[in-house]
Chain A
Amino acid sequence: MNLGKVLRVYVIEPIKIPVPTSRRVEPAQQKQAPPVRR
């Protein structure tokens, strides 16, 4: 993959992982595979 020329460089503060989303699954939660469409 060629991303081309570097346009600019910057430094971004570290974040907490996993990246928070409203649908995030907690690792401690019971795991269930997503439904599979046939």
Chain B
Amino acid sequence: MSAVAAPDAVGAIVGWRAWTIAQIDGRFRLRSMVAPTVWEPLQVFEATCLRPRLRLFRRWNARHEAPWSGCQCGIYATDCVTAATYASGPAYGAERRVLGTVALWGLVAECEHGWRAADAYPCQIMIPEHRFAEESSMPLEAVALDLMDYGVPVALVGETELDELLREGHTAPA
């Protein structure tokens, strides 16, 4: 957990995570990598446990608040190197990923390699520009402009900078 700095807002934890970019109603938005949930600009992203919706788990547990220690639910954040690894992984079709810092609050479960939280909002968004240069359906300029709707700094990072993040880690912005 060495790549995490003091929180930007009083009390909140600031970690790193990666998102998938999705086009929603003509605008590029942050979307969770593992679930089809969209992070709306200027709205707190609130965790819900999606597991009970799966048939396999219907009898396992009634609804519970997220995060719950007996489940894997919650909004995930981790260290910079792990987030950069996810953001720089192989592209799946037209899927493109970004990374950044995220503030976490509400009920927060501190884990060995990160956190699972009830509430979150991005602090900074970093776009690996070389990833978007390969995908014509997601013009880099349009993605960057739309992501500014979140009201937080949006930065473009090159391949070299991303490699540096992977090698050395990075401190969350003050």
- Residues of chain A within 8 A (CB-CB) of B138 are none
Count contacts on B: residues with CB < 8 A to the other chain: 52
Residue B104 is within 8 A (CB to CB) of chain A in the complex: yes
Residues of B within 8 A of A (CB): 8-13, 34, 41-44, 67, 69, 76, 78, 82, 86, 103-116, 119, 121-124, 129, 140-141, 144-145, 148-156, 158, 173
Chain A residues, CB < 8 A from B158: 37
28 examples of A-B residue contacts, CB within 8 angstroms: A1-B78, A1-B82, A2-B113, A3-B76, A3-B78, A3-B111, A3-B115, A3-B116, A5-B111, A6-B110, A9-B107, A12-B108, A13-B10, A14-B44, A15-B103, A16-B9, A18-B121, A20-B9, A21-B153, A25-B148, A27-B42, A31-B145, A32-B145, A33-B148, A35-B156, A36-B129, A36-B140, A37-B158
Q: Which residues of B contact A11 (CB under 8 A)?
A: 106-108
A13-B65 Cα distance, complex, nearest whole Å: 17
A12 and B13: CB pair below 8 A? yes
Grouping DSSP codes into helix (H, G, I), strand (E, B) and loop, the A interface class, with mixed when no group exceeds half, is loop
In the complex, which residues of chain A have a beta carbon less than 8 angstroms from the beta carbon of B76? 1, 3
For B114, the closest partner residue in chain A by CB is: A3
> Is the pair B8, A21 in contact by a Cβ cutoff of 8 Å?
yes
Interchain CB contact under 8 A, A19 and B8: yes
The docked-state distance in angstroms from the alpha carbon of A35 to that of B155 is 9
Are B145 and A14 in contact (CB-based, < 8 A)? Answer: no
Question: Which residues from A are CB-within-8-Å of B149?
Answer: 27
Tell me the complex Cα distance, A37–B42, Å.
28
A9 touches B156 (CB 8 A): no
Shortest C-beta distance, A12 to chain B (Å), equals 4
Q: Which of B11, B107, B116, B141 is close to A36, meaning CB atoms less than 8 Å apart? A: B141
Q: How distant is A2 from chain B, measured CB to nearest CB, in Å?
A: 7
Q: Which residues of B contact A1 (CB under 8 A)?
A: 34, 76, 78, 82, 86, 114
Given A1-B34, A11-B108; 19 other pairs, CB 8 A cutoff: A3-B114, A6-B109, A6-B110, A7-B110, A7-B112, A11-B106, A12-B12, A15-B9, A17-B151, A18-B42, A19-B123, A20-B8, A21-B123, A21-B124, A24-B152, A27-B42, A32-B145, A35-B156, A37-B158
